[in-house]
């Protein structure tokens, strides 16, 4: 898997809503009504991630969920795999 160049990342970001780059990771913060909704979302994302064999980093505090995506096979950099999963997450 090949890491995307900064210009490629910027172009791909235009197709996403609310995602940004922090360091070498594609990141988005989600806020839900309560803890139960946040956890349900994380479980749904986990099933999608497992199907794609691409696993995000989750950070959860009460009703807030932060997701970070990077591809281990590309040295922890952003790849097309990360953008594909981000789009599926947004669809959830």
pLDDT (tens digit, 9 = 90+) per residue, 13-36?
Answer: 999 999 999 999 999 999 999 999
pTM of the shown model: 0.94
CA distance 22 to 1: 20
Pick the closest to residue 72 from 50, 86, 55, 51 (CA basis): 55
Domains of the chain: 6-91 (3.30.1360.20)
pLDDT (tens digit, 9 = 90+) per residue, 37-88?
Answer: 999 999 999 999 999 999 999 999 999 999 999 999 999 999 999 999 999 9
């Amino acid at each position: 898997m090949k890491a995307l160049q900064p210009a490629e990342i910027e172009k791909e970001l235009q197709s996403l809503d609310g995602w940004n780059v922090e360091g070498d990771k594609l990141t988005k913060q989600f806020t839900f009504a309560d803890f139960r909704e946040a956890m349900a979302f994380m479980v749904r994302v986990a099933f999608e991630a497992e199907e794609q064999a691409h696993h995000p980093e989750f950070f959860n505090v009460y009703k807030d969920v932060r997701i970070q995506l990077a591809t281990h096979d590309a040295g922890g950099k952003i790849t097309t795999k990360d953008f594909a999963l981000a789009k599926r997450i947004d669809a959830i």
